A and B are shown apart, each in its own frame.
Chain A
Amino acid sequence: MGSFEEIDLRARQPQVRFGFPLFPPRTSIDNPALPRVIGGGTPDLQVSNTPLIDTTVPLARWRLEAVLRVGVFAGSFAGFSIEYQVAGETRRNGTGDLRVRLDRTQGGVAFGVSATLDTRIRLEEATYRYDWGPFGGVGPKSWRDVINQSFSPNVDLIALAITAFNIATGGFLPLQEIRGAQTIGSNGAVWGLFDERSNRYAADNQIQLRPTVDVHVNVLRLIPKIGTAIKVMAAVGLRISQGPSFVFVFPITIRVVRLTTVDGNYDVQNVGGPLPGTVRLLNGPVGPTSPNINQVDTVHEHSIGFQFRFEVHSTIAFLGLVSLGGSTPIPIRLFPQQPRTARPLNTVFGPYYTKLSSAGNTAQVELPEVHWG
């Protein structure tokens, strides 16, 4: 019988940009991904120009024309880092027990959305001239602007959403600016949405991170020029609101599925362990085992549930007479695996396989200014 005690496995000093990518390409249990720099802070920039409202409503002798567009730059990188300690024993019959403890896992995604809100609201009044001549009828029509407001602020929608949310709720969003990353677009930071869990394996035989953020706010009053225009429009009964509405939930479930010692590979059975926090090892090498094991490798399997929706909602209302509005999905692709679509997604990606080794020097890059949490 072989045994091993307190072997640490980790991507040392967990950092947002070091660990395992959430979507490592072409992995299998026999070909797991190794820890590495995640994304390198070079987001996959995308540009999307999306019409929100483009409508004209004949209203009295006025014409309410509203054109709202949003241009979005977006980009992301995503991953998780993990560390834990293992101990256990292996037996001649190819079985054994594995205890995983002191686990600490951080995972999430860094993303940025920089938007240009291109807004034009015109309320025009028509003036008709009646022709009293022999043929009668209405003469040429001219237009006078009652309201003509247009603005195209270049804004970081996420930053504004955080501020608006904090003002509205007194709470906070679990988003953190990542200063070590490249900015997005011309006026957007990169924001990290993350979750952190400790000591979950002993309780659940798996680790689940659940980074979640959902927001529905009006950001217009936070943009100084628009804030003034809103008051001007309110004085004639026009009201406008606009802002992001996004839901982003991606539970990451991580399990150890293989243990490798000097004797060979063991499968890990994560259910039905003999004691809480202990999982069974199966299908290992049969025969004598090394008595003192001081180096192990582990392979993890992870899957990612993914709910994502990013929309911009807009409403223009004039008293109780007119209400133009909608919620327009913005086609933002945060991950290469995500279809290029504006539809809300609710799917599961994976499994993917990653590997930690107690022998390897897994910490390759440290960026101390970029901390998760």
Chain B
Amino acid sequence: MHNRRDFLRMLGLAAGGTLIGCGGSGTSSSGFSTNQVPNAYHFTPIVTSGSSLPNRSSVRARVDDGGPPFIGAVVVNDLRHICFHANDEVGKTGVYRLDYDQSGETSDIQSLLQERQVLADGTVVDIVSPGDLNNSDDLVFMVEDPEGRKTLQYSKGGAPFERLCSAYQDLSDEARLYGEFHSDLCLTGSGDLMFSCAYRNPDGNLEGEGLFYVPNASTSQTKRVLSREQLLPGTASAIRTFGIFDIRPGGNYLCHGSAAVLEDEFDESGEPLTYLVRGRVGELPETLVASPRLGDSNAIQGSVHMGPRLGDSGYGAIVQSDRNKTAFWFNGKKLLEADFELGGSLTPRGAKIVSMFPPVFGPNGLVFIQVFTFLGTEILVYDGQQFSTVLASGQLINGKTLGMIIFGALPHCINAHGDLVCVADFTDGQSSILLGRPV
């Protein structure tokens, strides 16, 4: 045993998983730690390709034309309940729940939603959106039936799903839904929900897309937070559509989407002009990022195509400046740069970053982000001063070499205990949902 990393690894093997020190380099003899960053993470595969699922099915064994075993959508709440999407061996998609306790012991897998399942309102499940899970075990998904009808299905505290609303429904004076739902949803711990859908104006005519806020799952109280044609603050441009959003308890939100310059006759580039705004329900938002042509010189200049993330310690976004270059901005400060052709910033392990996933906010002000490099991929953690590597491709988990990792596909993949969940593909062709617990 040469160093602390070896000691931690031995400890992990004894505990039935793998301990990986939060280090600056894979070959460093000392794991990096501060008061905030855990010394190490204990990673355990909790579901693996081929594992049994309820109803006598099993998780798809390998990636093939029918899709991967796990698509990457996985979340965890403070009650240590995990919700993940998986494809089974006959190609049916489903959403499942798995609980674990403080020691890492896991429960049986429960089925939440499965393709072809008939819900209480008669909806036949065909395609399920990534959805969300909060700390009260409330679950929400956009469910599309085989004919393309979308409904918002809500489970209160793990109870059976009930239809919250459909895409052509008057919920309140401000929310006369009339058109397509966006598939993305966000749920706060107090059960407040944010979604986007086309709506009608008071004249009874289609206005366009709106961003809506449902306090405590009470649809009759639905408020329209942002609207089509609303001026983008600081610009002479108008909001046209909404993309991905994040909301926190109290109504603080972050949202990106597309906008159009009012005096422009017609944009023939096909490149969407994007914005990122931050606001609080009922108040005017501020523009944080805007495409240069939208004309807000006070905003960060660039495009936002990736999901912005909001945490207690601020906001994070991936801003794209051309087809190859992206940067991670955290609270208005550029922390990392990526270049798909040449490589950008260096990871703690010395690899050049080519691209990044959106950040994920953890407890104690920690910010996690998965980066991709010429050598593979790493999950990094930022403690306000520097980055450390939490997990990297090439490392061994239970004796198997990590290949691809998908972390941060949804915002709520770390809980208050610092436990994180991700999807890992191993070089032997197997895939797992990995649970990482700080040590």
Binding site for B on A (CB under 8 A): 50-61, 63, 67-69, 126, 128, 130, 138, 164, 167-169, 171, 212, 214-218, 220-222, 230-232, 234-237, 239, 241, 243, 245-247, 249, 307, 313, 315, 317, 319-329, 331, 341-343
Contact = CB atoms under 8 A, between A and B. Distances in A.
B130 A168 contact: no
Contacts of B167: 168
A234 B126 CA distance: 10
Contacts of A55: 270-272, 305
Given A61-B372, A321-B358, A138 B343 contact: yes
A63 B270 contact: no
Given A60-B357, A218-B180, A235-B67, A320 B198 contact: no
B265 A231 contact: no
B355 A53 contact: no
Nearest to A128: B374
Contacts of A51: 268-270
A323 B272 contact: no
A243 B241 CA distance: 14
B411 A320 contact: yes
B355 A60 contact: yes
Interface in B138-193: 147-149, 167-168, 178-180, 182-184
A167 B266 contact: no
Contacts of A167: 147-149
Contacts of A236: 67-68, 71
B290 interface: no
Interface in B229-280: 240-241, 243-244, 256-258, 265-272
Contacts of A164: 148
Given A216-B178, A237-B409, A317-B184, A221 B148 contact: yes
Interface stretch (B49-57, B104-112, B292-300, B319-327): B319-327
B432 interface: no
Contacts of A220: 148
A267 to B, nearest CB: 34
A327 B210 CA distance: 13
Contacts of A63: 340
Contact of B355 (A59, A130, A232): A59
A119 to B, nearest CB: 12
B9 interface: no
B208 A327 contact: yes
B272 A53 contact: yes
Contact of B205 (A50, A67, A169, A214): A214
A320 B240 contact: no
A272 B184 CA distance: 57
A155 B340 CA distance: 37
A57 B305 contact: yes
Interface of B: 65-68, 71-73, 85, 87, 91, 93, 127, 129-130, 147-149, 167-168, 178-180, 182-184, 198, 200, 205-206, 208-209, 228, 240-241, 243-244, 256-258, 265-272, 305-307, 320, 323-326, 338, 340, 343, 354-355, 357-358, 370, 372, 374-375, 377, 404, 406, 408-411
A341 B240 CA distance: 18
A217 B206 CA distance: 11
A239 B127 contact: yes
Most buried by A among B67, B180, B243, B324: B180
Contacts of A239: 127, 129, 183
A327 B242 CA distance: 10
Most buried by B among A57, A218, A222, A320: A320
A54 B130 contact: no
Given A51-B270, A327-B240, A237 B71 contact: yes
B255 to A, nearest CB: 10
A229 to B, nearest CB: 12
A235 B93 contact: yes
Contacts of A317: 182-184, 243-244
A320 B132 CA distance: 10
A60 B378 CA distance: 11
Nearest to B412: A320
B306 A245 contact: no
A216 B198 contact: yes
A59 B323 CA distance: 11
Contact of A235 (B87, B182, B243, B266): B87
A338 B269 CA distance: 24
A63 B358 CA distance: 15
Contacts of A327: 208-209, 228, 240-241, 258
15 contacts: A51-B268, A54-B269, A61-B355, A69-B270, A167-B147, A216-B178, A217-B179, A221-B147, A236-B68, A237-B73, A319-B130, A327-B241, A327-B258, A331-B266, A341-B265
Contact of A325 (B72, B85, B272, B307): B272
Contacts of A232: 65, 67
Given A58-B338, A214-B200, A320 B355 contact: no
A150 B79 CA distance: 43
A241 B150 CA distance: 12
Nearest to A50: B268
A313 B197 CA distance: 12
A343 to B, nearest CB: 7
A327 to B, nearest CB: 5
A323 B307 contact: yes
B72 A237 contact: yes
B86 to A, nearest CB: 11
B307 A321 contact: yes
A214 B206 contact: yes
Given A317-B182, A322-B305, A324-B305, 7 more contacts: A58-B324, A58-B326, A245-B208, A320-B409, A323-B305, A326-B241, A327-B209
B354 A61 contact: yes
A325 B258 contact: yes
Nearest to A221: B148
Most buried by A among B240, B320, B377, B411: B240
Contacts of B325: 58
A59 B406 CA distance: 11
Contacts of A313: 180, 209, 241
5 closest residue pairs by CB, A with B: A216-B179, A51-B270, A235-B67, A54-B270, A323-B243
